[in-house]
Chains A and B, each alone.
Chain A
Amino acid sequence: MNKIRLLRASLWLVLTIILIRLVQFQVIEHRYLLQKATYNFLKEYKIHAPRGKIYDRNGILLASWKPAFRIMAIPKFLKDEDYKTLQELLGNLPIDPDTLKNKGNYVEIKGNLPYEETIKLLEKSINIKSIVIDADPVRVHTPYSKYAAHLIGYVSEASKEEIKRFNLDPGDFIGKAGVERSFDSLLRGEDGARFIALDSRGNVVSLNPRPPEEPVEGEEIFLTIDIKLQALLDSLFEKYPRGAAFGMNIKTGEVIIFYSKPYFNPESLITRWTDYVSDKEKPLLNRVLQGLYPPGSTFKLITTLVGLYTGTLKENTVYYCPGGFTFGNRTWLCWRTEGHGSLNLIEAIAQSCNVYFNNVGARIGTQKFIETLDSFNLPEKTGIDLIGEYTVLIPTSKLLKNRLLLPSSVINWSIGQGEIQVTPAWMALVTGLIAGNGKCPEPIVRKGDKPKYLYLNLPPKYFEIVKEGMRMVVESPQGTAGYLYDPSFKIAGKTGTAQNPHGKEHSWFTCFFPYDDPTYVLTVVVENAGHGSEAAAPIAINIAKRIMNEEK
């Protein structure tokens, strides 16, 4: 059949073409191509991907990247005299020659070189044929970024453990704190590779023998914070050396304010690193998530809920404050030593009477207090989408395990003293749970993310009572923040004056607003600044007004 014959003929035709071509390559051009293969001595090195840019909620640039120069060399081919020349030109090199002697691939000898130094080097290093000078992206920050330094975080060279854990190479950078760390995999992008052809002595034959694999820039991140509000907040903190503030939208979970002072300047982090580490004020500490403070009177909000839940406390319960409270053989003084007289619950919250809450605590009892908080199942962290948040210490059986408990412990707890320590972010979350009648999202810092919700299952009536008390803190003339009352702005909050071993009391204010439609919570702590009403409350109310203005 001639169709089959035709197919057979085409099969043989293909074979003939293949054989002719093979003879051409493998016999005729063999020597030339063998030479090509022998000279093929290709080395690759990584081109780092530029890290994704970071913006605030309104698109103001906070962190970006720029190219910097770096010197690469294959240690195996770097002669001792070359190494000395480099040392003369660059000063001390971060890598010593002996540890690298046998490395066969490119290693970064020095990175992040300024332009002038690079030019100088280029002029003098023409004799060193085995080094390569190349641009590499490095993280840079805008001046605004320092107002959210702890939220943005920073990057630096990956440690040995990180190299192992995240499958990186020496010289790779990785986010070490804040968003840079928590969203590292997004920001990182995909590294590329560049190729260099060398001869057998390690001299560069061709700088681009094979098309490079281009890196892919990391993803952009839009944060939920408003950097201009952060800057304003910073100016309000001018008088105070230390403190923190945290604000969030309790309908969306978006973090609006994330401020910790003292802060580091991301722009000069590398050059001032040792200063920052040794600074006693701890500028690297993220006080929003890692600052553990006694909450002082802000904790009375929780005491109230415990009291209402156990039935010990009713809205109309009245206690008399003579200026102190005696339990056993010890007396706790009210902050107002002349006494508040007779107070109901709302008045006690508004005027922050210690004796009233000492009475509530004493009637609940240490054991019952712990059991009730256990049943509330309050979160121990806010669950924010950042790594490194600290767990708070509140009187639950889990957190107080192995601690000595006394019948008098609850007297301290009822006014937020004793063992209790919380972070500003956590206090904001609790305020959010109260404002939202038991429902509050976990905070998120990246725009567009969907938060999970946290719940505190208590009758709405209890929350309404607490909220009424918080309203009177500001609206009642006797309220601790009454002097800041502005009839045009409906806000409810609670002051706190936390005794601590480091000097003057920490000043707390935690609030939600607008009162009729709770949308935001804001918590401010000013370290060693005295009464909550003096330092924290004016700052918080000022910022709260600005947040509402921004919304309009």
Chain B
Amino acid sequence: MRRNNLLIITALILIAIGLTELYFIGKSYFFSQLSKVLIFVAFLGVLSPFMKKEHILNYGPFLYHISLVLLVIVLIVGKGKVNRWINLGFMQLQPSEIAKLGLILILSKILSDNKKPTKSRLIKASFYTLIPFILVLLQPDLGTALTFLFIAFLMSWLSGIDPFITRLIILTPITMIASAHLVSTLILYLLLLVFLLISKEAIYKKVLTIGFLTIVSLSTPFVWQKVLKPYQRDRLTAFLNPEKSKSKEGWQIYQAKIAIGSGGIFGKGPGRGTQKGLAFLPAAHTDFIFSSMGEEFGLIGLIIILTAFMAFLSFLLRKIELEEGQEKLIIAGIFACFFFHFTVNILSNLSLLPVVGIPLPFITYGGSHLLIELTAILIILKLED
């Protein structure tokens, strides 16, 4: 029980750091976010005594289906270019965040159902993952859609899938990236052939692997050229050379780099950052809050933040190790979600990944992700009862 305190303490530290930075970016962000924190904590505090472990284990499908309905509503109601939010008055609800929790809970139920054979469990799980994936992709919100895939992959992998399928899943993104150039594609195939020659797998699996990856490497350039619009392509590649990029995204990534770098080891001091604000880092409070903190708190400040995240994530890993069955899978899904957000957000701040609009857990301005993160912590605590 004492170890659970670590979970709460690290989360509170991260929330406090996030609020501090929001205060220096803009007081209105600070007060708005603070009120959300207080409302959510109060809400979950009231909810907590009524929440039983059985509810968490059994009500997943209910939450999942509600979130699907909300995702459909968002697509129908939203008239603008990006259809992500439902206006609740005091905050904009992002149903895709609820869907993350819904997906984790329903997958945990499906994948831990020992009465069914592994294969049928996996097919069912894939089906339940694809629906929210497609709905969110239509918004369009690539980052959140990929989060669903990562959660589903990690949970299935832990519940035990054929290494052959795991390999296919891991090789898919690698093949997609490699297909950007002929040489990298050839190298990949060469390595793959060597591996398949050595391995003692059934021949049909080898044929399937080659066939599947050939389809991926041939269709990727087609999707890239014909399906994606130029601005979407630019968004995905801007991080490779932000200084030269002509797009708004590239410019922001470059400004994020200047922000972090100019902060140095000790930072410019709270409120002293010059990069944030309208002209340089318009998204200082959302996508690029990590850069903003890097500028003001320096390397030392960032190391404190990273330590808190590492403690939080390591603790979740330890929990996965200790739990069994459905509980284990729920925590694994929660870990997957946090790990993916943490990694993708920070790496995109460091010009190492494209910016796909993924929040930094506990810190980024916004209510929906915070509500889900706090609920996830409550769920972990309740699973021990």
User: Is A7 an interface residue, CB under 8 A from the partner?
Assistant: yes
> B264 to A18, Cβ gap below 8 A?
no
User: Is A11 an interface residue, CB under 8 A from the partner?
Assistant: yes
Give complex CA distance A11, B313 in Å. 8
> Mask for A17-49, Cβ within 8 A of B = 1, else 0?
111011101110110111011101011100000
Give complex CA distance A211, B306 in Å. 33
Give complex CA distance A32, B257 in Å. 11
Given contacts A3-B158, A14-B343, contact A26 B265 (CB under 8 A): yes
Chain B's nearest CB lies how many Å from the CB of A1?
6
List A contacts of B303 (CB < 8 A).
Answer: 19
List B contacts of A213 (CB < 8 A).
Answer: 248
Give complex CA distance A29, B154 in Å. 37
> B306 to A15, Cβ gap below 8 A?
yes
Give complex CA distance A209, B257 in Å. 16
Give complex CA distance A40, B295 in Å. 14
List B contacts of A7 (CB < 8 A).
Answer: 154, 317, 320, 335
Residues of A438-457 contacting chain B, CB below 8 A: none
> B280 to A33, Cβ gap below 8 A?
no
> A23 to B299, Cβ gap below 8 A?
yes
Nearest chain A residue, comparing its CB with the CB of B263: A26
> B274 to A44, Cβ gap below 8 A?
no
Give complex CA distance A34, B154 in Å. 40
Given contacts A3-B158, A7-B317, A8-B317, contact A25 B274 (CB under 8 A): no
List A contacts of B310 (CB < 8 A).
Answer: 11, 15
Give complex CA distance A304, B274 in Å. 77
> Mask for B321-337, Cβ within 8 A of A = 1, else 0?
10000000000000100
> B264 to A26, Cβ gap below 8 A?
yes
Give complex CA distance A23, B265 in Å. 9
Given contacts A7-B317, A30-B264, A211-B251, contact A21 B350 (CB under 8 A): yes
Chain A's nearest CB lies how many Å from the CB of B239?
12
Nearest chain B residue, comparing its CB with the CB of A211: B248
Give complex CA distance A358, B338 in Å. 89
The 8 Å CB contact of A26, one of B274, B299, B335, is B299
User: Is B122 an interface residue, CB under 8 A from the partner?
Assistant: no
Chain A interface residue count, Cβ-Cβ cutoff 8 angstroms: 33
User: Is A210 an interface residue, CB under 8 A from the partner?
Assistant: yes
> A32 to B321, Cβ gap below 8 A?
no
User: Is A69 an interface residue, CB under 8 A from the partner?
Assistant: no
> A11 to B264, Cβ gap below 8 A?
no
> B248 to A37, Cβ gap below 8 A?
no
> A18 to B317, Cβ gap below 8 A?
no
The 8 Å CB contact of A37, one of B246, B274, B313, B314, is B274
List A contacts of B246 (CB < 8 A).
Answer: 211
> B262 to A30, Cβ gap below 8 A?
yes
> B317 to A33, Cβ gap below 8 A?
no
Residues of B205-255 contacting chain A, CB below 8 A: 246-248, 251, 255
Give complex CA distance A37, B254 in Å. 11
Given contacts A22-B294, A22-B299, A22-B350, contact A195 B259 (CB under 8 A): no
Give complex CA distance A42, B282 in Å. 13
> A32 to B306, Cβ gap below 8 A?
no
Give complex CA distance A21, B265 in Å. 13
> Mask for B256-289, Cβ within 8 A of A = 1, else 0?
0111111111000000001100111000000000
Given contacts A15-B306, A44-B279, contact A30 B157 (CB under 8 A): no
Given contacts A11-B313, A14-B343, A26-B265, contact A4 B258 (CB under 8 A): no
> A11 to B314, Cβ gap below 8 A?
yes
Chain A's nearest CB lies how many Å from the CB of B264?
5
Nearest chain B residue, comparing its CB with the CB of A27: B265
List A contacts of B255 (CB < 8 A).
Answer: 40
List B contacts of A43 (CB < 8 A).
Answer: 279
User: Is B339 an interface residue, CB under 8 A from the partner?
Assistant: yes
List A contacts of B265 (CB < 8 A).
Answer: 26-27, 30
Given contacts A8-B314, A11-B310, A17-B352, contact A25 B257 (CB under 8 A): yes
> Mask for A276-297, Cβ within 8 A of B = 1, else 0?
0000000000000000000000
List B contacts of A18 (CB < 8 A).
Answer: 306, 346-347, 350
List A contacts of B154 (CB < 8 A).
Answer: 7
Nearest chain B residue, comparing its CB with the CB of A13: B343
> A37 to B258, Cβ gap below 8 A?
yes
7 closest A-B pairs by CB:
A33-B261, A37-B262, A25-B261, A42-B279, A34-B262, A21-B350, A26-B299
> Can you list 27 pairs linking A and B with CB atoms under 8 Å apart?
A3-B157, A7-B335, A11-B317, A15-B306, A17-B352, A18-B346, A19-B303, A22-B260, A22-B302, A25-B257, A25-B260, A26-B263, A26-B264, A26-B294, A26-B302, A27-B264, A30-B264, A33-B258, A36-B261, A37-B262, A37-B275, A38-B274, A40-B274, A40-B280, A42-B279, A43-B279, A211-B247
Interface residues in chain A, defined as those with a beta carbon under 8 Å from any beta carbon in chain B: 1, 3-4, 7-8, 11, 14-15, 17-19, 21-23, 25-27, 29-30, 32-34, 36-38, 40, 42-44, 195, 210-211, 213
